[in-house]
Structure formats: structure tokens, C-alpha cells
Structure 1
Amino acid sequence: MNEILWLCFAVVDLSLVVVLFRLFGRSGLYALIVFNLILCNLQVIKTVELFGLTTTLGNILYASVYLSTDLLSEFYGKNEAKRGVLLGFVALVMMTVYMQIALKFVPTPEDFAQPHLEAIFGFMPRIALASMAAYLISQTHDVWAFHRLKERTNGRHLWLRNNVSTMVSQMLDSAVFCFVAFWGVFEGPVLAEIFLTTYLFKAFVAALDTPFIYLARKVGTQDEQFA
């Protein structure tokens, strides 16, 4: 069930990136970056078994963030992609700060949510720090590599720049995130397995998103500023 659910979720999420790009253009992509980045940092706390390997959730949503920034790069330029990266970073910082403030409020005796919020968001500062560091490093590299490859190939081979820039950036992201988030939490072999499986699943989704970026180019967008 995990494997079937994971594959279906990947197809649905990547499809929604194309749909929102079609309907809302860059605004839809900005919204997706913020939404998926926040949600994947909640899902990543949960570890699951997929195809016999231990990995964290959140890799699908995070991979679709790369699809969104690649679409911004391809159709709106490097500056818009950088703007999307920065917007996601600011949203993640705000979520972390706001939830830490929320935990400081003294709950009523009848409250049942505080222990659950503490279990999730009490661990969030470390997760958020790891995510922010990994996100900035990997996404900055992704935007740079995407446009570098676009220049070197004279705008040809969209599949090449989409896959190479994303897969290398995902490796950087997984390495930084796993080290900062889970060092001392898991033993070495488990940490290594999480890194490897997390990257493999992200790389798989990165390859899977290739038809979707071509589909987005074919259907275009209703964004008036696109032209």
C-alpha cells in the first residue's frame, strides 16, 4: 500500500503543479513553493518503508518545489526563480517562528492539542534549520545550473537541464539536510540509509517530473504577464 500510495501521490502532486501553472502562471507557482515547502517540512518528521527501504516522507512535495522553480526559470527567467526561492525561505522562517510562539502560550486544563503540537513543532527548529540551509544551498545551485545548461545548449534539451540541475541539487540538499537534522538522532547506518533512500526517491521524482515540464510548456498559461 505504501508504494502504490506514494506513486499515486507523486503523479497527483506533479499534475497539480501543471494545473496551477496553467490557471495562475507565476502566482500559482509561488503559492505551490510556499505550500509544498511548509508541508514537506512537517511530513519529513515521519519515516516510512518504501520498496523495502527506510525513508522520510516529504520527498514528493519537496521535489515538486524544484519543478516549480524550474518552470519559473524556463518561462519567466532567473530572477523570478530566485524570487520564488526567497519567498519559500521567508515562509519557512515565519512558520517556524510563529509556531514556537504558539507553543509558549499556556494551554487550558481542557486543552488536548499542546502535547501533539510539541511533539511535532518542538522538533521543528532543528528540522527548519536543516531545511533552510539545505534549501538555500540546493535551490541556489539548481537555478544557477539550470540557466548555465540552458546557455551551454542554446536553449535546447529541456530534459537535460531539468534533470541534471535538479538531481545534483537534490544530492546537495539531502546531504546538508540529513547531517543537520538527524546527526545524533539516528545511528550512523540508519542516517546513511536515510540519506541514500531520501536522495534516491527525490531523484526518481525528479526524473518523473520531466514529462510534466514538457506538458506545462505545451499547455502554456493564462497568466497575462507570460508573454
Structure 2
Amino acid sequence: MIIFLTTLYITLTLFSNISSLRIISILALSLDAGTLLYPATFTVRDLIHKKTNSKIAYYAIWLAAIFNIMMFIVFYIVSILPPDLSVGLQKEFGLVLIPTWRIIAGSLIAMVIAELVDTKIYEKVANKFKNKHQWLRVLISNSVSIPIDTFLMCTIAFYGTMDNKVLIAIIISNIVIKLLITLVSLNWIYFVKDKGM
């Protein structure tokens, strides 16, 4: 189970970061497409924590960061290799898969800081309530870590590249959507048994 959850967690972070390269509009809200997947990473990491301990949860966070760095390095190397001219210049490949360093930095910094904060808060809530109100662990930890993640990511990646009103709208939209997805995923915490059970 723990291998599955860790693999799912890392995969969701990778897909979220790739998807974040596209800004979309849902219900007149501007957000990066990674917003639709990323909130699930917090809950899946909570499942890892619940099934094991905070040490393993921290390990999963750092492992996800390493895999994301590797992904961006591979994308960069592939994009600078000379194209087969019989297929065309393929400029679009580089434009799509090579985000600016600010998006990479924002994504990684926000992910690591927010996930570490989330893990710490999850552990405190779990210790306080023990096996009661397990959904509250997820709700409280995500409610703190999601705004931290969103503010850091959007500010590092986009500050100065767009009007501040647009940036604030993107931040607010992302937080709202992520919190709504968190509400939908609250019951996931009951999918795994506590460690030692």
C-alpha cells in the first residue's frame, strides 16, 4: 500500500507541474491547470503519513522534489537537442515543455514548503484527536498549506510578468478551487488504516 501511495503522490506532483504550464479558465476563474490535480497531493501525502509516520511523509516530499527536478532537466535536455529537420523545427516542443526558471523554482519551493508545513500540522491534529475526526486532519492541514503553496508558487512564478490584479485573481481562484477539491477528497483519509492497525 505504501509503495502505491508514494508512487501516486510523486506521479500527481509530476502531472500537476506539467499541467501548471497552461493557464485555463473555469467558471470565469483564471488558474493554472495543475490546480485541478495538485490538491490531491496533500491528501495522498496525508494517507502516507497516516499509514506510516511523518519521517516517511517527509521522505516522500523530498523524493517528489527530486523527481520533479529530474523531469525538468530531462525536458530541458530534450528541447535543446537538434531536431530532425525532415519533421520540421518542432519549436512548439520547447515552448510547451520548457517553463521559465521562475515557474520551476516557484513550483518546487512552494511544493516543498507547503508539504512540509502540511505534514507538521497534520501530525499535530492527528496527535490531538487520535482516531477521532480523521477528516479534520486533512481539512485543517490543507486549509493552511494550500494558501501557502498558492501564494509562493504564483508570486515566484508570475510576479512582475502580469498586472497585479490578474495575479491576485489567479491566486484567489487557485485557493478557492484547491479548497473545494480538498472538501471533495476529505473522505479519502478513511481509505487506509492507521499504522499499527
Compared CA separation, residues 121 and 153, structure 1 to 2 (3 A): same
SS at match of 1:107: coil
Matching residue's letter, 2:30? T
Q: CA deviation at 1:47?
A: 1.8
Normalization by structure 2: what TM-score? 0.92
* Matching residue of 1:9: none
Q: 1:186 to 1:154 in 2, by over 3 A?
A: same
Given candidates 182, 185, 194, the residue that maps to 2:170 is 194
CA shift in 2, pair 1:113/1:86, >3 Å: farther
Q: 1:124 to 1:38 in 2, by over 3 A?
A: farther
* 1:160 aligned partner, one-letter code: L
Summarize the Cα distance change of 1:94–1:81 in structure 2 as closer, same or farther, 3 Å threshold. same
Question: Post-superposition shift, 1:124?
Answer: 4.7
TM-score, structure 1 normalization: 0.81
Q: 1:149 aligns with which of 113, 120, 125?
A: 125
Q: In the alignment, which residue of structure 2 is the partner of 1:127?
A: 103
- Determine the structure 2 residue equivalent to 1:170: 146
Q: 1:85 aligns with which of 55, 61, 71?
A: 61
Identity among equivalent positions (%) equals: 20
Which residue number in structure 1 is paired with residue 35 of structure 2?
59
Structure 1 Cα separation of the partners of residues 196 and 106 of structure 2? 34
Rounded to whole Å, the distance in 2 between the matches of 1:26 and 1:127 is 30
Asked if 1 retains the 8 angstrom alpha-carbon contact of 2:72 and 2:98, the reply is: no
Letter matched to residue 145 of structure 1: I
- The offset of 1:37, in angstroms, is 0.9
Please report how far the alpha carbon of residue 210 of structure 1 lies from its aligned counterpart in structure 2 after TM superposition: 0.7
User: How many aligned residue pairs are there?
Assistant: 197
Instruction: Tell me the distance in 1 between the aligned counterparts of 2:130 and 2:188.
Output: 21
| Structure 1 spans left out of the alignment, 5+ residues | 1-24
Contact 2:10 2:63 (8 Å CA) reproduced: yes
